[in-house]
Amino acid sequence: MLGLATELGRVLLARGQSVTTAESCTGGLIAGAITDIAGSSAWFERGYITYSNEAKMDMLAVPPEFIAKLGAVSEPVVAAMVQGACLLANAEWGVAVSGVAGPAGGSVDKPVGTVCFAFAGPSGIITEQELFDGDRGEVRMQTVRHALIRLIELIEEQD
């Protein structure tokens, strides 16, 4: 992940922009990958670990009805998470993730490995859902990798 986080920092620094994270299933692993880079404080000020539903609502102003009606692992919830994180951190870019890392907790509609992503940037918020294979650790690492890759792609698309 070091190479991806380094590249993320490079593209953000070149634009004078910053990024924030709002993480559930990864528990801070995306922010951890970013802060493994010396000097990342120039483009990363803070991240939010909102593992519980209450944390999502309290810290990031996720509407309770989103969680009640759709569940924490849903695109509207991650969109609200990233919106709240960017607002609080005053960051141009953000990523939010919520998923079912396993080994338990999956359902027919949201099997283990289901992860919802939201990416915020100057052009707005986009969401997507992925289904990753593997055990809990593998799902979480694939989530971090996907988040970093997509952030880089989206930032570069802004040119």
What are the pLDDT digits (tens) for 126-147?
999 999 999 999 999 999 999 9
User: Is the confidence at residue 2, as pLDDT, over 90?
Assistant: no
Strands 93-99 and 19-23, bridge-based pairing? parallel
Superfamily (CATH H level) for 2-157: CinA-like (3.90.950.20)
Domain boundaries along the sequence of the chain: 2-157
DSSP per-residue codes, 95-119: EEEEE--SSS---SSS-TTEEEEEE
